[in-house]
Amino acid sequence: MSRSHPRPPWSSTVQRARGVHVCHVNDYCCHTGDWTFETTAATAGDVTRNWTYSGYHGTCQAQASLTAFVERGGSTIFSSTVYSASDAACSYALPSGGFGVDGQVVFPALLAGDTYGFMMHASNYDSNGGVQAGWR
């Protein structure tokens, strides 16, 4: 699995408080972006996480997705798309015009040393090209 870790010209803020990552992304550069937020399991067992994903990806051809994953030894052993929306037809369907969703995911059967987290994808192909999102 390939993951992108963007660098400027976009800007983001990531905070970690009580095991929760809060990210705010503002990208007016490239119409699209991929961000990965991950951590390493300290102990074995299932881990349950609540998540919130909100943003504004424009009004035409907007896309947003959030995928939970677990990697072990460099291989993905679990992947679950917890949110996915696309307005390919420019019909103002979600996520066009802004969105906000939340849920819960279980990262199953982790072993100490496994890498787990979320991959976030955002696209906006209207005239402003802006991508603004927050994940928590």
Q: Is the model's pLDDT at 11 over the cut of 60?
A: no
AA letter at 61: Q
At residue 85, the pLDDT reads 92
Is 59 a domain residue?
A: yes
At residue 7, the pLDDT reads 32
Domain of 127, in residue numbers? 36-135
Is 92 a domain residue?
A: yes
Is 66 a domain residue?
A: yes
Total domains in the fold of the chain: 1
Nearest to 109 by CA among 41, 10, 22: 41
Is 103 a domain residue?
A: yes
Is 113 a domain residue?
A: yes
Nearest-5° angle of CA 115, CA 117, CA 118? Answer: 140
Q: What is the reported pTM? A: 0.75
Is 10 a domain residue?
A: no
At residue 56, the pLDDT reads 77
Is 86 a domain residue?
A: yes
| Burial class for 11, CB neighbours closer than 10 Å (0-12, 13-18, 19+) | exposed
Q: Is the model's pLDDT at 35 over the cut of 50?
A: yes
